[in-house]
Structure 1
């Protein structure tokens, strides 16, 4: 597969994937940290995790900057497609351990909480898991749309470099659709669970939804890149 990246060192391409993995992983973990709070701590937890959440944008900008540089430097569409697909494979792998180990998810969330200056609420049984199919499904759907918003415009820009600015608006359109799905389908469920004190027991469904959404996107992107390369 290294022939896909013959124009640039592979570690630079992997750097894009690492940046995206950290960025999207931090977004996921911001909610798992919030799930550690009780009702009296929620405002404090949200304010602290908002700082953590916005910090994720720095790593997202790293991904965007590198992909934009590759396109402006004349890298072919199949290489761009492969790099983006590889990046989302790395994102999926990052979410894997958090998805299949409730203990790891809780331990990592507690550690991040301590770094942010918040402590997990006492008296919560973190081993209780109450799956929410709706939360997992809606999260996977919105995540898949955001995945398209982060990939489709760059691939199109590499195919039609003379319309790069036009393609950038496509990203905003797709992301706005993902935001509507998030605001109307995912957030109401999450905040309702938060009000009932049931967020921690169902947060695994949110993590699973993110894992599925990124996994589906990664499979599609890699599959298309292999077809284009033939």
Structure 2
């Protein structure tokens, strides 16, 4: 069962990241809002996998009370995330999987509505200010994506392992985890998402999404290192 928890968590992170690959890869000027509604459904499904992860972790923490198993689940969760995200560096995989996902969602929710898949290369890039592509702005963007991903993943996965060290502080740990989670989500919504969507609207965005994917991988490698340090 602990393998299921690890895979479920990894899938949830994969969906969150891949949703931006969908927004980058899938274009149809005649069905813009409809496509985004399908992508939103796909992105929201990540929460379902988190809801699989949380009860299993709670069970091993409070009922089984096995600190080693909880540590192993947490470790596997982060390792699976890295493995799942690595294929996204392949444009062929990203584009092919994007089309298949939209086709499936279209059959389920849109009754096979006809969609014309327009490639990003067909969209004429708009002129952009050179300062937007400066190394400073890339570092700025990467830093916020890293912080956002770190806070979100740390708050969800480390809560259970840390509760063994602070058994009388369960509510306090939960409160802190919610605060970290909220900060991570706010950074994503206020600073990261607008930057990515703005770039996609200009016929760009691949660079930002690669930075997002890379930051998420580094986040989970960092969390693996932290796990070994605190064991």
2:8 alignment counterpart: 19
* Residues 120 and 203, structure 2, Cα contact 8 Å, conserved in 1: no
2:121 alignment counterpart: 124
Q: Tell me, what secondary structure is at the counterpart of 2:164? A: helix
Q: Is residue 43 of structure 1 aligned with residue 33 of structure 2?
A: yes
- Rounded Cα–Cα distance in structure 1 between residues aligned with 2:71 and 2:160: 8
- Rounded Cα–Cα distance in structure 1 between residues aligned with 2:91 and 2:141: 17
Which runs of no fewer than 5 residues in structure 2 stay unpaired? 107-114, 124-132
Q: Tell me, what secondary structure is at the counterpart of 1:35? A: helix
Match of 1:94 among 64, 84, 94: 84
Q: Is residue 83 of structure 1 aligned with residue 63 of structure 2?
A: no
- Rounded Cα–Cα distance in structure 2 between residues aligned with 1:178 and 1:93: 22
1:29 alignment counterpart: 18
- Rounded Cα–Cα distance in structure 2 between residues aligned with 1:224 and 1:78: 14
Q: Tell me, what secondary structure is at the counterpart of 2:121? A: coil
Q: Tell me, what secondary structure is at the counterpart of 1:22? A: helix
Moved over 6 A (4+): none
Deviation, 1:45, is 2.2
* Residues 92 and 211, structure 1, Cα contact 8 Å, conserved in 2: yes
TM-score w.r.t. the length of structure 2 is 0.79
1:73 alignment counterpart: 63
Residues 117-167 of structure 1 show CA distances to partners (whole Å, capped at 9, x for unaligned) of: 2553146269xxx99554444322211111211123222223333432332
Q: Note the aligned Cα RMSD (angstroms).
A: 2.7
- Rounded Cα–Cα distance in structure 2 between residues aligned with 1:215 and 1:111: 29
Q: Is residue 103 of structure 1 aligned with residue 92 of structure 2?
A: yes
- Rounded Cα–Cα distance in structure 2 between residues aligned with 1:218 and 1:194: 32
Match of 2:229 among 212, 215, 224: 224
- Rounded Cα–Cα distance in structure 2 between residues aligned with 1:71 and 1:22: 22
- Rounded Cα–Cα distance in structure 1 between residues aligned with 2:189 and 2:20: 15
Deviation, 1:78, is 4.1
* Residues 79 and 221, structure 2, Cα contact 8 Å, conserved in 1: yes
* Residues 77 and 159, structure 1, Cα contact 8 Å, conserved in 2: no
* Residues 16 and 66, structure 1, Cα contact 8 Å, conserved in 2: yes
Q: Tell me, what secondary structure is at the counterpart of 2:25? A: coil
Deviation, 1:197, is 2.5
TM-score w.r.t. the length of structure 1 is 0.80
